[in-house]
Structure formats: C-alpha cells, structure tokens
Amino acid sequence: MLTGRSLLRSDDLSVEEIGLVLKNADLFMEVLERKVKKVPTLRGKTIANIFFEPSTRTRTSFELAAKRLSADVVNFAASTSSLKKGESIIDTIDTIISLKVNLLVIRHGHSGVLNFIAKHIKVPIINAGDGKNQHPTQALLDAYTIKKKFGTFSGLKVAIVGDFLNSRVARSNVELFSRVGMEVMIVAPPMLLPSDYTVLGVPVKTAIDQVIDHVDVVYMLRMQFERQKRKLYPSIEEYNRFLTLNSARLQKMKKGSVVLHPGPVNRGIEISEEVMDGAAAGNRILIPDQVTHGVAIRMALLYLILSQQEEA
C-alpha cells in the first residue's frame, strides 16, 4: 500500500508500486463499466483539488475519481482565493487542511513548488503537474494505456515527439517508461530540448521520419505556446515538415503501433486535422482511452494512499 504517501515525481514509486497501481486500476475500470459507477471505498474522506493553473482533463479526472470512490471533494481556484489579497501559499494550504482535508491534489505553474509545500505540511499530496517539472499521474495513465493495448511493456519502442523543453509530461514519461522496460527515444530539434537532456540517458532524433516506421508507440507532445517566453520554432510549416503526424506518416507506421497525446491537441501542429478526424487512423489513436484510463488510475492512487489512513 501507499498509505499516507505523497506522489510528487514518477520515480517516487518503485517498479513494484507502479505495478500495484496498474493492477488496482484494472479493478476500478470494472467499476467504471458498471451501471452505477460508484463504490463506498473512501466515504468520509475529503480531497481538495487545488489548481493554480487552468485544467480541464486532469482536474475533472481527479474530481470524478474521488466521487466514484464516495469521497467529498473541495475545488479550489487560485483566481478567486485570498492569494489575491496577499496571503502566502503555505497559509492558504494550511487553511484548507484545517477544514479536515485528507489529501491535496495540486497543480502549479512553477517547477518544484510542490516539494516546498510538502516540507511544510503532513497531509499527502498528489502532483497534478508542476511547471516544466513532473506530471506523474499522466505517466501512470499513459503506461496503463500502453499495457492495456499490448499486454506487456517488454520490447516496446516509444518515441516521444515534440516540445520536450516545456513538457512536464515528457520528463515523467521518459523516467517511468524506461524503468518498466520500454525502449524510449526523444524526437525533437535542439531548440525544443533542455540543455541537460543528456542526463535522461535516451537517444535523441531530430525528425519523426527517423522513427515512424519502427516504433510501437508514437507519443505526440503538445506544443506549449503558453510556456514559451520567445518563439522557439521558425514557423508552423517548418514544424509540420519535421514533427507533425500527418496522413502520409500515419501510413508509414509499424503495423499494430499506436498514437498517444496528453491533450489538448493543437490540431494542425502536433497531429493533422485529417489524422484526427479521418477513418484512416482506425484504432491507432488512443487519446480517448487515455482520458478514460486517467480516472481509473487516479481512483487507484486515491485508494492506495487513503484507504488505510487515519482520520485527520
């Protein structure tokens, strides 16, 4: 069990614990397929979703996961909080905890802020994304989606394509995917790579055409314009030339291979309109599966962290 533990990084979990989360996600997928999609597992527990950045998929997924487990949910938005009046982030968190909250789900725009918060409180935290740093639950749901499709991680080749520099998803995924046995490579030009990318220990290619025909998973990263202080790529046309998944490249993909994306998709940039909308993609595009699996993964984490926790 992960009782009382925080999850700030994907490497906070051992390989065995990753397997435990995925195994429990299978159980909760069964719950999500029932007519009544709810169990009393966390009745009496309270979870606070604290989002300092906009979010649709992650916040909604955590909220649904908590409610499916019969927990109470408090949603906090920084834009309408006392932070606007000058209150410190720790005082704000302490106020929320004083309401007898058992677990915090936090997203913040600055890397490392959750580590700072975790040092000052005793309530477990799940990182829902911090700056360009980490997004561990996305890595778990992505791994789960791959496992459901292929039945194994062993021998699978994964290409993570696009804006690696600004992506917290990419960092979490490289670390977790590598540890569970997948062969990971990055596809990005130098201007979309961090200066320390070599510490990741995975090969780097500069164009999607170098990998498209022999990888099992093509993981398209979102171009994060909101995190770019300056224009990092010459033009959309140039991005399309080297990195976009279009119909021609779709046809070159290895038989049985699949496409993942953390969402939301910038249509015409990471993935072309015809691939997103066309029947040609068939069952290769697993983005809807990722969203569904995200609820089951987060249910599993909430259960494993809170089910045996003493009442606050």
**Residues with catalytic annotation?**
57-58, 85, 107, 135
Side chain identity, residue 287: I
- How long is the chain? 312
Distance separating alpha carbons of residues 119 and 113, to the nearest angstrom:
10
Angle between helix axes 57-68 and 15-32 (nearest 10 degrees) is 70
- Burial class, 150, CB count within 10 angstroms (exposed 0-12 / middle 13-18 / buried 19+): middle
What is the DSSP track for the chain?
--TT--B-SGGGS-HHHHHHHHHHHHHHHHHHTSSS----TTTT-EEEEEESS--SHHHHHHHHHHHHTT-EEEEEEGGGSGGGGT--HHHHHHHHHTTT--EEEEEESSTTHHHHHHTT--S-EEEEEETTTB-HHHHHHHHHHHHHHHS--TT-EEEEES--TT-HHHHHHHHHHHHTT-EEEEE--GGGS-TTGGGG---EES-GGGTTTT-SEEEEPP--GGG-SS--SS-HHHHHHHT-B-HHHHHHSPTT-EEE--S---BTTTB-HHHHH-GGGTT-B-HHHHHHHHHHHHHHHHHHHHTTPPP-
Distance separating alpha carbons of residues 123 and 133, to the nearest angstrom:
21
